[in-house]
Amino acid sequence: MKLLEATPFKSGDLELDEDQLRNQCLELLEDIYREENRYKTFRQNGAHNETIQVHTFKGSNGWAGRSNTISANDYNLENVVKALTGCAYEGDKWKLADPTLHTYYEKQYMGKLVESFVVLKGAPEPWYCVELNYNLGPLLKTRKFYEYIRVLPPLKQDESSKVKLFGKESGFIVSVPADIEEIQQRLRSNDDSNLHSDSVPTDSKNSRNWVYAQYSSVETIGHSNDSQDLIWNMATSSNAGGFVPNFITALALPRTIAQDVPHLLRWIASEKEITRRG
């Protein structure tokens, strides 16, 4: 996989080896989070009116990144990790019972995400494919994304770790654009055992109401080296499709992704328990 290129992937191109994928994620993040790529710091209000500094970066090939600290004094950090990854802490490790929980929780706090469907499970394992529909504003058509997603649960860092982690524990959420033709072909198949109950082939007659778009992203969540606080990093590259030039998308990305931070924290603070409902 070549994450930095942010091009659509066929199912056979997806990285299955966890260590290799962690290394690729770290290589991507290290390329973007260079000091010379540092951009603006946005100050956002958290759920308790605390000020959160979100540091942003502008990398090559239209990539942008953000980084912020989530304080253990303000939030239940176990809920933060659960909301982002879908993992639950059991015994002495993070476990991922349902890899699609990340997508379910994301829909709860991402205001512009109007619909999300898991269309393929095990596409191949442990990846899954989703259809995401975003409302970008009154003058723009809905953006339809088909994305492969994989969650890598947080690990405890020790000297025998095969990969370099950002902190004491790190978890990753990897999203890459799916090849639309392959996905549509699989959705029209009646004998694909990986089809999910939400799977519905896109009706081309409705194409006047939406535009295909694509994005790649890597998120990491882990403990700060010198405290129990969490560090949340996210890097992304996006092609909004339609008549929106890529350079316009790239200009808006840092501010846009900085605004996602308070959305998550306010949702977590409003929930007594982070769990799937319905």
pTM over 0.85: yes
30 located within any domain: yes
Supply the pLDDT for residue 103: 95
Domain residue limits at 9: 3-270
What whole-number percentage of the chain has pLDDT above 70? 87
Task: Report, as an integer, the average pLDDT of 154-160.
Answer: 63
Q: Could you give the percent of the chain with pLDDT greater than 90?
A: 59
Flag whether pLDDT at 44 surpasses 90: yes
pLDDT of 236 higher than 60: yes
Q: How confident is the model at residue 263 (pLDDT cuts 50, 70, 90)?
A: very high
Q: Which residue would you say has higher pLDDT here, 23 or 177?
A: 177
Confidence of residue 123 (pLDDT cuts 50, 70, 90): confident
In a domain, 276, yes or no: no
| Structural domains counted in the chain | 1
The verdict on residue 36 lying in a domain is yes
| 2 pLDDT above the threshold of 80 | no
Look at residue 208 and tell me if it is in a domain. Answer: yes
Residue 275 lies in a domain: no
Domain annotation covers residue 20: yes
Residue 241 has pLDDT above 70, yes or no: yes
The pLDDT of residue 169: 64
CATH code for position 252: 3.30.530.20
pLDDT at 162: 40
Q: What is the 3-state secondary structure (H, E, C) of the chain?
A: CCHHHCCCECHHHCCCCHHHHHHHHHHHHHHHCCHHHEEEEEEEECCCCCEEEEEEEECCCCCEEEEEEECCCCCCHHHHHHHHHCCEEECCEEECCCCCHHHHHHHHHCCCEEEEEEEEECCCCCCEEEEEEECCCCCCCEEEEEEEEEEEEEEECCCCCCCCCCCCEEEEEEEEEECHHHHHHHHCCCCCCCECCCCCCCCHHHHHHEEECEEEEEEEEEECCCCCCEEEEEEEEEECCCCCCHHHHHHHHHHHHHCHHHHHHHHHHHCCCCCCCC
Q: What is the mean pLDDT of the chain?
A: 87
